[in-house]
Amino acid sequence: MMPFAGFAPDIVPTADGVLPACMNIVPTLKGLKGIPSAIDTALPALASECRGIVLARKLDGSTRAIAGTQTKLYDGTSGTSWTDVSRAGNYIGGAENLWRFCQFGDATIATNRTDAMQASTAGAFADIATAPKASIVETVSGFVMAFDTSDGTYGDSPDRWWCSALYDHTSWTPSIATQAATGRLVDSPGNIRAGKRLGSQIVVYKERSMYLGTYQGAPIIWSWQLIPGEIGALSQECVVDIGVAHIFVSHDDIYLYDGSRPVSIGAPLKEWFFAGDLNQTYKYRTKGVHDRVNSVVYFFYPSKNGGGEVDSYIAYNYKSQKWGYGMMTIQVMAEYISGSVTYDTITGSWTYDTMPAIAYDSPFWLAASPILAFVNTANKVQTLTGISGSSSITTGDIGDDDLYSTLTKVRLQAIKAPTSATLTHYTRPTLGGTLVTRTSSSLTDGKFDVLWSARWHRLKIDFTGDYEITAFDPKAVADGVN
């Protein structure tokens, strides 16, 4: 058996197990699966485009779902309706200004850089009077941190950082006594694009540089170390915190940073991604999210031919170190906590035939389980918890430059078999030649039957339904040398 090596369009196509093409594939610890389909939540559509959504956890473990449009903030904690929790007078926002959030104790902090920074422990949000306007907020070591700011004293300061008073998100006037402070990061050019906690430290990203911030106490408060190399991040949404490290999209590669040095993880696809499929005009719209249950980081991005909409994704399993790819159009991503719904506690008029098509082993059925959710182009929150729809993999080239071989069958190793699968067999006389479609066959008894002689063979397998595959075994008989 030949184990699947994941989506790797930049790797030579004769390497064992590589997939030069795939669609709607997610890498698992053991192999590959189709991405779950989208299922509607009970929340109605938002009134307009969603500019940010968060599930905030309070100190008692309860959660609060907050979503923002250009002019309003809404609370969807009930799971069935949106409650307007905007400040009096609503918000101005901007053409593409995003809402970004952090949680400080029981207080949910929201910012969009155009309006005053907001806070709420329950009910409506209100201005934090002394806080700067900011593009980015984050909590670390007892502080709320703000980046890329504007305020009445220093004006527009895209390279400036602020921290609130220690353990007080309402106090921002610089003071040694309270440890509220501000400063600029000027050892490298550009504005601050992202700021994410890493343990007790914080990592700040510009487009082509990174700083590691460490709390020092008064009078220094925070010290900043410039990380060597011209590596940065495209935006706040391009940096995903997986707990022990950040995985992020830079201007020309994808990296993992654990506090020591950034390590490239994008080699199997970075040329295809950055020089090919990523829309360079709208690349700042790329949005990452962490599927903690499955150890997968997704980056949803605007494709080159998509007109600026976020319509595609790449997915990285950081335990198996494999990639996947697919297409799905979203506005924003968020982690979502499902309610305590189980097969035993279903109420209402659901029957076996009318239940949503959710896999039996989906996190949806686990009480308060984190699952992936997104807001679609109809402003509706959906979860990625349904049965996988259509997906496919395309193998690399199997064969030899001189030797003809007859491919007789292809056996598929599956931990969970798909509902159905169809193999399409392609051949070509040379690696640089044109692929010619030969035969197709359906999965029967764990294998596909084929019969064709060629120097090089390539296989595409189309799947429906949930599955997990680990390897394949193409059986070929040598014909002779030509």
Span between the terminal Cα atoms of the chain, in Å: 27
Residue 87, domain member (yes or no)? yes
Whether residues 143 and 17 share a domain: the answer is no
31 assigned to some structural domain: no
Check whether residue 364 and residue 469 sit in a common domain: no
**What pLDDT does 149 receive?**
98
- Would you state the torsion angle of the CA atoms of residues 326, 330, 332, 335, taken in this order, to the nearest 10 degrees? -60
Query: Are 201 and 147 in the same domain?
Result: yes
Which one of 327, 362, 387 terminates a domain?
Answer: 387
pLDDT per position in the chain (482 positions), as tens?
Answer: 999 999 999 999 999 999 999 999 999 999 999 999 999 999 999 999 999 999 988 888 888 999 999 999 999 999 999 999 999 989 999 888 999 999 999 999 999 999 999 999 999 999 999 999 999 999 999 999 999 999 999 999 999 999 999 999 999 999 999 999 999 999 999 999 999 999 999 999 999 999 999 999 999 999 999 999 999 999 999 999 999 999 999 999 999 999 999 999 999 999 999 999 999 999 999 999 999 999 999 999 999 988 999 999 999 999 999 999 999 999 999 865 433 334 443 444 444 454 455 454 544 433 455 789 999 999 999 999 999 999 999 999 999 999 999 999 999 999 999 999 999 999 999 998 999 999 999 999 999 999 999 999 999 999 999 999 999 999 999 986 66
Residues 6+ apart with CB under 8 A from 108: 54, 56, 64, 66, 101, 102, 119, 120, 121, 125
CATH code at 435? 2.60.120
446: β partners: none
Q: Per the domain annotation, does 27 fall within a domain?
A: no
Residues 437 and 296 placed together within one structural domain of the fold: no
Per-position DSSP letters for 405-441, written without gaps between them: EEEEEEEEEEEE--SEEEEEEEEESSTTS--EEEEEE
> Backbone phi, then psi, for 408, in 5-degree steps?
-105, -35
- CATH number for the domain including 54? 2.130.10.10
> pLDDT tens-digit profile of 146-196?
999 999 999 999 999 999 999 999 999 999 999 999 999 999 999 999 999
The Cα angle at residue 317 between residues 312 and 322, in degrees rounded to 5: 85
* Gap between the Cα atoms of 390 and 411, Å rounded: 20
Give the pLDDT of residue 353. 53
One domain, residues 99 and 80? yes
The answer to the question of residue 102 being in a domain is: yes
Q: What is the DSSP string of 205-222?
A: EESS-EEEEEEEETTTEE
Answer for the pair 66, 57: CB distance below 8 angstroms, yes or no: no
Last residue of a domain, one of 331, 356, 387: 387
Establish if 30 belongs to a structural domain. Answer: no
Number of domains into which the chain is organized? 2
Which of 78, 87, 84, 164 minimizes the C-alpha distance to 119? 87
Total residues belonging to the chain: 482
85: which 2 tokens? 């929790």
Largest Cα–Cα separation, the chain = 84
What pLDDT is attached to residue 357? 53
**Domain match, 52 and 62 both:** yes
Domain membership of residue 442 as a residue range: 2-22+389-478
pLDDT at residue number 61? 85
What is residue 480's predicted lDDT score, i.e. its pLDDT?
A: 65
pLDDT in tens, 329-342: 999 998 654 333 34
Assess if residue 178 is contained within a domain.
yes
State whether 131 and 224 are in the same domain.
yes
